[in-house]
Amino acid sequence: MSRYYVTTPIYYVNDAPHIGHAYTTVTADALARWHRLIGDEVFFLTGTDEHGLKVARAAEAAGRTPQEHADLTAARFRETWDLLDVVPDRFIRTTDPDHHEAVRAFLQRVHDNGHIYRDTYAGWYCVACEAYYAEDELLPNPDGGPGLDPIHERPAEWFEEDNWFFRLS
């Protein structure tokens, strides 16, 4: 018997579950079930990512706090998996206390070992894409404002943020 770990992405709680979430999660569930049938020890994880600007803006648009919005949307994901007979071993939320502690411990460890450093990152950002773009990647804005992201054709926003980075060498 071997061990088999299967996970889905952890889904943003900015909106309700959709067919793309279902496709990925049902596929992962089928894989987990197959490996159990052949005798493997399986751990199947899915869950929600409840942080970020996209989530904060969705909560604000809905008239909720980010935590209220995350709680409601995470419940919708759980209900969807129940309807689809998806049975993960763990449904994790990035707001779960044990998740917070695991991330804190990991970051402390990599910090103590000199693997991360603090710096500022700046650039043109698209919240919908969750991506930064170089200025030459943006499309011209007919209104004369900031360039448009090439996927959603929405004005990019200039962001500067203090963050932690992994050392690459």
Find, among 86, 1, 8, 85, the residue nearest to 35 by Cα: 1
Question: What's the pLDDT tens digit per position in 86-131?
Answer: 999 999 999 999 999 999 999 999 999 999 999 999 999 998 888 9
What structural domains and CATH numbers belong to the chain? 3-99 (3.40.50.620), 111-166 (2.170.220.10)
- Asked if residue 159 lies in contact with residue 125, where contact means CB atoms within 8 angstroms, the answer is yes
What are the tens digits of pLDDT across the range 20-39? 999 999 999 999 999 999 99
Q: List, in sequence order, every beta strand (DSSP E) within 13-128.
A: 41-49, 90-93, 116-126
Q: Average model confidence (pLDDT) for the chain?
A: 96
Count Cβ atoms below 10 Å from residue 153 Cβ, excluding itself.
13
* pLDDT for position 129: 87
pLDDT of residue 107: 97
pLDDT of residue 128: 86
Question: What's the whole-model pTM score?
Answer: 0.84
